[in-house]
Structures are given as C-alpha cells and as structure tokens.
Structure 1
Amino acid sequence: MSSTTNYILGVYDDEDEVLHAVGEVKAKGIKVEDVYSPFPIHGLDVAVGHERTRLPIAAFMFGTLGMICAFSLISYTMVFDWPMIIGGKDFFALPNWIPIAFEGTVLFTAFGLVSTFCISNDLWPGNKTLPLDIRTTDDKFVMAINLDKNKVSADDIKKALKESGAIEVNVK
C-alpha cells in the first residue's frame, strides 16, 4: 500500500465482530479494501469480496512441467545418451520411471508455488512492508477502507465503523 493513499482503519477486538462488521459496512455502500487479523478467519475472504485464488492452476502447470522435464531427462539419459540393459529390461522401461517422474512433479510444484506466492504477494528478501496497525500481529483486527476508492464521505465511514462495533477509528 502506498504512503500517499489515505485509509480509515476500524480496530476490532473480536473476530466475530469484524466478520459481521464487514457485512454491515458493505451494506452501507462502503468498499472495504482489506481486513488484517493475527490469524485466518473462516469466511472473511468471501465477506470482503476477494476472488478465488488461482494457485491451484499454477500448481497443475508446475506439476505438469515437472513431469515433462523428469520424463525427458530419464528418456534422454536411459535411451539415447547411456543406454544400459538393467535386469533384462528394455531401454524404454516406463513403469520404472514413474517414481522418479512423481518426485520431479512434486519438486517442481513445491518450488514453483513458493516462488509464485512470494512474487504475487511482494514477499522477496529485503522488501520492507509496514503494517497499517502494528497490533494486527498480536490481538487486534483492523478493517482498512481506502478513501480514494469510496464515494462515501470520511465522516460517514467513521460513523459506520463505530456503529458496527469498532473500538477505535483511525485515519492513516
């Protein structure tokens, strides 16, 4: 989040309160930017309106790439580069290659998903992101509302946050 953007933060004590408050605030025509909490809250992503993640699609693609690379490496080394007859089997012994291909699939999927997750969430080494409210890492729940993306006035947003159960309302 950029430092030039203005946010109104509603601080809550309880996860149930913040989950119900998101619905109340959105019902008044206010767009909620995000909700920060010290632990995951079931159903909060749906309440805020986040899209479903596309990480499973990326996992499938990385797994497919891993399987193709593993089969390609095995077929090149065992059939073309250094063909050896092991136990009287053919050079192209597909059932023997399946465990190695599975391990390649898992390896590519794991490294690919970690890299994709870190890149998509700006989590690379040396990146400094400051939280909007430091208490979200301990025991508070913070609803962030971007003033630039809302047509509702700041006073009405503050009033809606107070009515929904916020213990304090801050402007950052």
Structure 2
Amino acid sequence: MSNIFIISGPSGAGEDSVIKKLKNHIDFDKIVTTTTRAMRPEDEEGVSYYFISEEEFKKGIEENRFFEYALEDNGNYYGGTYEELERAKKSPKPILWKVEYQGVLKAKKILPEVKSIFIYIPFELIKERLAKRGETEETINSRLEYAKGWYDNEDAFDFKVINEEGKLDETVQKVAEIIKNNLDA
C-alpha cells in the first residue's frame, strides 16, 4: 500500500501555498521533483526541486531514471526519479508530491494506490491570479492553455478541493482531513 498523496493544480491554483501551510497540520515527507527550470531566489536545492540541465534530464530519460516526466508549458522538463520515489517510500510519514496533470495520469498507471488531490479554482480566476503575480500576457495565455489539461482530466483525481479566494486556511484544513482520513493503517 501507499501513503503517497499527489497535490496538483494549474498555475495560480495555490498548490504551493497549500503545501507550505500543511506543515502546520501534518508531519509529511515529499517526493522532490527534478527540473530543468532555473533556480529562483526562494528555491533550495533538494527541497524545492533538484535542478539539472536539459542535457542531464534528457540523459536521465534515455537511462530510464524517471518513472514520470513532462515538458511543461514553460519549456522546462519536470519529472520524478525512481531513486527519489524509493527514498520517499521508506519514510514512515505521509508523502506529498506536487505534480502537474500529465504526471497524475502517468503516476496512476504506475502507482494505482496513489491518492490524488486536485486543488481547484474556477478557470476564469487563473488569469486574474497570474496577472496579480505580474506574469506577461504571453505567459498568462500559455498557462491558461496548459491549465485546460487539469479541467479536461479532473475525473482522474481522487479528490477535488476548491481553493476559494481568501479561504486558503479552509482549503488547507480540507486537504489535511483528506490525507488523515486516507492514510493506510
């Protein structure tokens, strides 16, 4: 069995904020995704992501080191390595894994026991939230197009939690309850 919980939502849905605040409710470990995107000032290697070059990532694909990966709308690769999965599975704690919708679909095939939580916001709210972040119109349009994948595949998720504007704490509480109520005995 598995205590792996996927947290997923389109850009602007608040999945990073939910995961951050979950620390106040649940002691968890996480699967750290590997990416080719540039490290940001707030990022920490091995905590936020594992950061590698595109060349290294493609080599990892060829060597079958990833159990799932995707090229996202921002032009960067993201993926979960078998090594990271095995490390996380040894943890006695619930495991959180932030992944985009393509990763959810692949993970469900490889690890059917994984539980997935869709952090949902109304589609029209995505543009508003991305604009507040200062994203360019081109980036917003690209992310909106990519976001359709979550809504087109929402039936693939085990749970859907609506992240209402101004109600992050309630969203976090709902996600915490889902995790607590669905841990393997």
TM-score between both structures, scaled by the size of structure 2: 0.29
Higher relative contact order structure (alpha carbons within 8 Å, sequence separation ≥ 6):
1
- Structure holding more strand per residue: 2
- Structure holding more helix per residue: 1
Structure showing greater radius of gyration is 1
